[in-house]
Amino acid sequence: MGGCQPTACAAPARLDEGIRAADTVAIIVAGGVGMRFGDPHGKQFVELAGRPIIAWSLIAFDAAPSVARIVIVCAPDRADEMRSIVSDLAISTPVTFADAGEVRQESVASGLAAMPRGYAYVAIHDAARPLIETSTIERAIAVLRCDPALAGTLVSARVTDTLKLVEDGIVVSTPDRSFYWAAQTPQTFRTRVLEDAYANAAFEDFIGTDDASLVERAGGIVRCVEPASPNIKVTYPEDLAVAEALLAIRSDRGEVLA
């Protein structure tokens, strides 16, 4: 059965055994215009704690031992600006660029087409989630690597609010929230599985809400992995203040922000 189950965050007892040579390509999607954020410059370029928002994701993936390559998907007219950011960060992981599409699914497909061949896994991450940590990236990859039955892993958080099923503004029911998780990124998959899922979706003209939905639709089993710390998405200007505060807390704890 695909998707997230209530006990889906169970993991192998020793994930460190799953860490091997770099076998994963990270595709960072940074092609959105951020209309809800309200900055015509694009929220991925907005400064967060002294760096462009996308820089924090690049730093985290660059530090991940399992990540062999990074593909940045961005608008063609912003590629030079993105290259400048990569250069300023002195990223050691090889970086490839791909053109963004009209919608996110097209952008990910472009990233898949641009990634080098021969890597077992691919991790798709939204640049708008700058608080992702290297430990969470490695855990998501290790859980997938250690379980041959899995098609992918999905970084996600347990829903803590009470949920209501509503129709025309009227509450219909209150579902058991223990069955619900909020999907985040990265979403990591066996490369061939994700490529096939994208090919099937394109053939059937199906648009999913995220990458995992395409894999689930094709029958793949996706396991949830909880993030080590809050992994919020910067969607609105006020989210930037929250992200700044969370980074400050990490800094106060002595965590390396790079």
Residue 34 confidence (pLDDT): 56
Say if residues 121 and 192 touch (Cβ distance below 8 Å).
no
pLDDT digits (tens, 9 = 90+) for 13-32: 344 444 467 999 999 999 86
pLDDT digits (tens, 9 = 90+) for 54-97: 999 999 999 999 999 999 999 999 999 999 999 999 999 999 99
Q: In a 3-state reduction of DSSP, which class is residue 183? A: strand
Tokens (6 digits) for 69: 């390559």
Share of the chain above pLDDT 70, in %: 87
Environment class of residue 95 by beta-carbon count within 10 Å: exposed (0-12), middle (13-18) or buried (19+)? buried
Q: Quickly count: other Cβ atoms within 10 Å of residue 171's Cβ.
A: 9
Tokens (6 digits) for 172: 């219909």
Residue 187 confidence (pLDDT): 98
Q: Rounded mean pLDDT of 115-133?
A: 96
Q: In a 3-state reduction of DSSP, which class is residue 196? A: helix
Expressed in angstroms, the distance from the first to the final Cα of the chain is 40
Instruction: Give kind and range of the element (H or E) at residue 98.
Output: strand 95-99
Give the predicted TM-score (pTM) of the model.
0.89
CATH numeric code, 22-248: 3.90.550.10
In the block, residue with structure tokens 């094709």? 218
